[in-house]
A and B are shown apart, each in its own frame.
Chain A
């Protein structure tokens, strides 16, 4: 009985820890997503879009 309860508690803890990792993982990714995009990106795209003669 005691062992069973310990096992369940360990499982809960493992699940909580996985959730915490998941949250941090998204946080890490979203941190970059939310950064302002460097102008360079749009500049490059704008140059590529211009007709060949105007580059």
Chain B
């Protein structure tokens, strides 16, 4: 090994152990976040595993005692978007993933409303979806979500507010029914409407 780390012993079992212990507790949350980003359980676990390993490899740069959940979510999010950029087919894949998710949820006991919510979420612009998930489901404060997404707190607030309005409108109009162009048009109208409403506020 020719690499040397400055200011830290390259091998610190106690610190690594503490880091690993906390990282393991975050795996379920990373899986859940990845699932909402990809919409596909298999792709989500690949993404969550990649993020987990990236976090492990970067453990020396993490300051123990600070917010590891936000840190790992940021890693996962960056990983997701850098992979997305590499894949020109991604928009098509998203669509296919949404369909697979719909088909995969075949549990008659599962409340129908959750499927509707999943489909509706998939129709939101990605930046609105992730903001709403982080704040509305992940338990992050606006400030933490802003850090994870690399944007201003005000931006997160307005994205969450727009996402809430759009989601409600999609659910109410049943526009989550994907029947090709009609749903696309309905969606366009809803988003334009939500946009208008949020600037009026």
Which residues of A pack against B, CB within 8 Å? Answer: 14, 17-18, 21-22, 24-35, 37-38, 40-42, 44-45, 48-49, 52
Contacts and interface: CB of A to CB of B under 8 A. Distances in A.
10 contacts: A14-B168, A18-B164, A25-B117, A28-B114, A29-B137, A31-B114, A32-B35, A33-B29, A45-B23, A48-B57
Contacts of B28: 32-35, 37
Interface in B1-34: 1, 16, 20, 23-24, 27-29, 31-32
Interface in B101-144: 113-114, 117-118, 132-133, 136-138
A24 B32 CA distance: 14
Q: Determine the interface band of chain B, counting residues with CB < 8 A from chain A.
A: 20 to 34
B26 to A, nearest CB: 10
A35 B31 contact: yes
B175 interface: no
Contacts of A41: 27, 45, 48-49, 52
Given A21-B164, A37-B27, A41-B27, A29 B171 contact: no
